[in-house]
Structure 1
Amino acid sequence: MTQTPTHPQAHAQITIPAKHPMVTILGSSDSLLRVIEKAFPSADIHVRGNVISAVGDATEVALIQRLFDEMMLVLRTGQSMTEDAVERSIAMLRANGSANGNGAHGDGHRETPAEVLTQNILSSRGRTIRPKTLNQKRYVDAIDKHTIVFGIGPAGTGKTYLAMAKAVQALQSKQVTRIILTRPAVEAGERLGFLPGTLYEKIDPYLRPLYDALHDMLDPDSIPRLMAAGTIEVAPLAYMRGRAHPTFTNVLTPDGWRPIGDLQVGDLVMGSNGEPTPVLGVYPQGEKDIYRVSAQDGSWTLCCGEHLWTVRTRDDKRRDKPWRVLETQEMIGNLRAAHARRYELPMLTAPVSFPEREVPMDPYALGLLLGDGCLTGSTTPSFATEDAELAQALEAALPGVSVRHKGGPDYVLNRVKSPGDVVTLENPVTGMLRELDLVGTRSHSKFVPNDYLYNTAEVRLAVLQGLLDSDGGPVTQNDRTCRIQYSTASIVLRDDVIALVQSLGGVAHTRRRPAEGRKQGSALAAHRYDSHVVDIRLPEGIEPFRLTRKRDTYHAAGGGGRPMRFIDSIEPAGREEAVCIQVAAEDSLYVTQDYLLTHNTLNDAFIILDEAQNTSAEQMKMFLTRLGFDSKIVITGDITQVDLPGGTKSGLRQVQDILDGVEDVHFSRLTSQDVVRHKLVGRIVDAYEQYDSRQDQNGRGGRNGK
């Protein structure tokens, strides 16, 4: 009786085209053929001329036939096959079941060895970087498709190296403007404290693997230049988090200024477009070295050395390059170019949009009275002007009030009497001024009430127009745009005018003219106090004057030009408790003190966090929420090699439970089969996994037996 074979036998013939010499298929001294024979010991493989025949189990023969097809596809691209590539091709074919139609990837497509081995990521100095295993290809594809990718697997699987190649590729193709490479920080004062040298010299060996990968992928001579320009940043993770302000630094909110240390997630701050944007994260930073960053218009704010600034140089503007992002410390000592200020700061793209507030007096009328009105309260309110047009405008803006010409420049603001009125009725202007707490103020103590300073753009502009029509004016210069000048004896009113200008997207420079030695005019009181002169430039489209003669002069001279701000100085300012915030604005910018625009998230960047298993849960959250727009994050680590103090949970382990299933976040898991170092590394990884598994089983058994 004949026994039916358990596995059907099959025969296949593979004819190698003449254009492929057999040595490219079989290897030198048949080295590749021996790898194939060892992988398929149950099959008989014979070579005659350019024909390869295989006899054996149908499944195995199908795999052999497919293997030679894939090898020829690789050879057609001009690449050579190595023993390692053949072994990996066999592993891929077995893993995805290509021979029998199983193992399709998520989109139904089955990756082939040829697709994996011919996917070039980056070519540099005569060598090409590409994935070598199926999981590596899927990892690289995931980086293309997702914003945040976790590469988790044992050492030697190419997690960081492939991510670095994708980062350099993105930089060279202008998908991003900078690369940031980071690792969880080793405490320099404890673990590295015994090493000689500066802090950077202490941490440099710890970051050496990242530098080495860069040197494989870029011209070594270009790397220092790219790092000096901020295009490539290599730093410990702790340096990434320290982009902060002192806790008392003011940040603009819809209700006015608030200390940044008082903000909470969900609070609103003002963005560069003048609109409110929510705070997404608040991160206390502890005590940090603080610097005072000042602009040429006198505006300034405090921040740490790692705080981020959006800036551009004159060359950037001339060459139509995008704005760049630099740290405070990167700009120190580099603020001038041929005696000109190097770094221009962005301005508001639109006036700040505060919510509307009810006010008792027309804002333009308030501006006129703050400029040329008498508000002492001891007499009937009055107004002084040589322009009858202003007196008429004031009367039109104050219902129930007549502006009566008294003689010369003087006008009196009388209540319009109705039949039956009693003499003791309060003057409406005095009543409004009393409500605004302005009664009794004099030239040196006037101010703009907060309900006007933090009102709609229309209200703020009307107040400013009243102030400029009364106490300001255009200053024309030959061959230059027209600037606006305003003067007041009140320090508070000076600052309020500057705030109005800045909130509308303009700039204001101030200087003081001492009263001593100035020639006295008819109004002696005006010269008892120093005069504060404010030079103003407003954005195009914002009209500074209503008074006809001033408006005509301003426009005849070409308007005010473009408001600009440049960093003038960066100076140490001690140590302070600091905090950083993340906002939801598309450009990540928010308004800080003096209406300066700054941010602390990373836009247009490719960010790699290596050795992420050694992050704490708090560090991982901080890092992920630092993501800016048009950026990509790749996080790599091996959860079997956690080196954290006892009791500290690995952020990489925890984040898998938190972000699993979140859209645009992908977890790529590599195994010992993806190790691309010495073959022994993969075997070591497997041996440790088996050992750990046995220990876990023994531990459970012991516990159950107790």
Structure 2
Amino acid sequence: MSLAERPTETHLEFPDNRLLIDLCGQFDANLARIEQALEVQIVRRGNQLVVMGEAGSLARAAEVLEGLYHRLEAGKAVEPGDIDSAIRMGFSDADEPPRATDQIEMFTAGDVEIKTRKKLVEPRTEAQKAYVRSLFAHELAFGIGPAGTGKTYLAVAVGVNMFINGMVDRIILSRPAVEAGERLGFLPGDMKDKVDPYMQPLYDALNDFLPGKMVAKLIEEKRIEIAPLAFMRGRTLSNAFVVLDEAQNATGMQMKMFLTRLGEGSRMVITGDRTQIDLPRGQVSGLSDAERLLKTIPKISFNYFTSKDVVRHPLVAAIIEAYEADG
């Protein structure tokens, strides 16, 4: 082994022992995550972390640890997703946490953060950052890519932000109620009971950003609507933030109908995954149609995600890559 290849070490000092405990995680789980990803060894000695490994990996690990510690100093939590994001993207001056005096309503030129009633949402990949910027900048935006890349989650977060800041009067969330191997007619209950299981991911996202009682009250007042795509026919959606989720399961006619609902003062987001089309064989997806027909219109934004943008369990990215390789 040459001198350049020999393992080396660096010592990082963290003055606040309480924050250092949070940085390490329960049973040093956070350190273990960094060790595995960057092939280093991290040992805690008092208020220091000793990082050992090859020079390149060592520098990368030090950058990740110091960046995560800055998050904790700013009062933010460090979760597994934050660690994965730091490892993938690193930290720049624009990623430095804001001072306590800074009020983040949406995002600044460098930061991309979405303030909701329950949490501050931070995109974790460059594609997610670009997507969030486009949602604020464009009246009509598409988010296309595999499951787990945050397409719908971030769109709903931006919608909640615009709603609580008075930029829109309503939030409208919709999905095609496509029968993916099941028959709606055989499900118990009235039409709402039959349709609600299809809408559950949208309810879940809303409840992540707004208190449960507030969500229920706003739904009762129809300031938040969650409905199947078919229910949008004949309406003009003005002063609203509108999300069509799972758009790959809309037909061409349904997509045209939905897109032409866009009214004054509204924003519309279309999300979908072209690899998960549940339409009958031979039926063209409205998402593919819209992409083909609208891509040259400058005021419409198309944003694409890959398996590298998956922010669920790391195995999800590996599964997606395996299927893409086979396809």
Q: TM-score scaled to structure 1, two decimals?
A: 0.40
Q: Deviations over 1:576-598 (max 9, x none)?
A: xxxxxxxxxxxxxxxxxxxxxxx
Looking at structure 2, the residues matched to 55 and 218 of structure 1 have their Cα atoms a distance apart, in angstroms, of 43
1:67 Cα deviation after fit: 0.9
Contact 2:14 2:48 survives alignment (8 Å): yes
Q: Which residue of 1 aligns with 2:292?
A: 657
Matched to 1:158, the amino acid is G
Looking at structure 2, the residues matched to 83 and 175 of structure 1 have their Cα atoms a distance apart, in angstroms, of 33
User: Which has a greater percent of helix?
Assistant: 2
Q: Deviations over 1:391-431 (max 9, x none)?
A: xxxxxxxxxxxxxxxxxxxxxxxxxxxxxxxxxxxxxxxxx
Q: Which of these residues, 56, 61, 75, is aligned with residue 59 of structure 1?
A: 56
User: Which has a greater percent of strand?
Assistant: 1
Q: CA RMSD in A?
A: 3.2
Q: Which of these residues, 242, 247, 262, is aligned with residue 607 of structure 1?
A: 242
Q: Deviations over 1:310-365 (max 9, x none)?
A: xxxxxxxxxxxxxxxxxxxxxxxxxxxxxxxxxxxxxxxxxxxxxxxxxxxxxxxx
Looking at structure 2, the residues matched to 21 and 204 of structure 1 have their Cα atoms a distance apart, in angstroms, of 42
Alignment of 1:511-550 (within 5 A): none
Looking at structure 1, the residues matched to 27 and 9 of structure 2 have their Cα atoms a distance apart, in angstroms, of 25
Looking at structure 2, the residues matched to 12 and 227 of structure 1 have their Cα atoms a distance apart, in angstroms, of 54
Matched to 2:27, the amino acid is S
Aligned residues: 314
1:90 Cα deviation after fit: 0.7
Q: 1:659 to 1:22 in 2, by over 3 A?
A: same
Alignment of 1:399-438 (within 5 A): none
Contact 1:31 1:83 survives alignment (8 Å): no
Looking at structure 1, the residues matched to 211 and 42 of structure 2 have their Cα atoms a distance apart, in angstroms, of 46
1:65 Cα deviation after fit: 2.3
Contact 1:111 1:134 survives alignment (8 Å): no
Q: Which residue of 2 aligns with 1:30?
A: 28
Looking at structure 2, the residues matched to 61 and 9 of structure 1 have their Cα atoms a distance apart, in angstroms, of 9
**Structure 2: gaps of 5 or more residues:** 99-109
The alignment status of 1:16 with 2:10, answered yes or no, reads no
Looking at structure 2, the residues matched to 631 and 118 of structure 1 have their Cα atoms a distance apart, in angstroms, of 21
Q: Deviations over 1:471-520 (max 9, x none)?
A: xxxxxxxxxxxxxxxxxxxxxxxxxxxxxxxxxxxxxxxxxxxxxxxxxx
The alignment status of 1:138 with 2:130, answered yes or no, reads yes
The alignment status of 1:623 with 2:267, answered yes or no, reads no
1:602 Cα deviation after fit: 1.8
Contact 2:132 2:155 survives alignment (8 Å): yes
Q: Which of these residues, 119, 138, 142, is aligned with residue 150 of structure 1?
A: 142
The alignment status of 1:39 with 2:37, answered yes or no, reads yes
Looking at structure 2, the residues matched to 44 and 162 of structure 1 have their Cα atoms a distance apart, in angstroms, of 35
Q: Which of these residues, 115, 122, 128, is aligned with residue 121 of structure 1?
A: 115
Q: TM-score scaled to structure 2, two decimals?
A: 0.82
Q: 1:217 to 1:691 in 2, by over 3 A?
A: same
Contact 2:113 2:120 survives alignment (8 Å): no
1:19 Cα deviation after fit: 6.0
The DSSP-based 3-state class of the residue aligned with 2:276 is coil
Q: Deviations over 1:80-122 (max 9, x none)?
A: 32344323311223xxxx7xxxxxxxxxx88648699993431
Q: Which of these residues, 640, 659, 666, is aligned with residue 275 of structure 2?
A: 640
Q: 1:27 to 1:626 in 2, by over 3 A?
A: same
Contact 2:117 2:210 survives alignment (8 Å): no
Moved more, 154-163 or 71-80: 154-163
Q: Which residue of 2 aligns with 1:91?
A: 88
Q: 1:34 to 1:219 in 2, by over 3 A?
A: closer
Q: 1:27 to 1:199 in 2, by over 3 A?
A: closer
Q: Which of these residues, 47, 50, 57, is aligned with residue 50 of structure 1?
A: 47
Q: Deviations over 1:652-677 (max 9, x none)?
A: 12322333353232222223333333
The DSSP-based 3-state class of the residue aligned with 1:14 is strand
Q: Which residue of 1 aligns with 2:103?
A: none
Q: Which residue of 2 aligns with 1:234?
A: 226
Q: Which residue of 1 aligns with 2:75?
A: 78
Larger gyration radius, structure 1 or structure 2: 1
1:643 Cα deviation after fit: 0.8
Identity %: 41
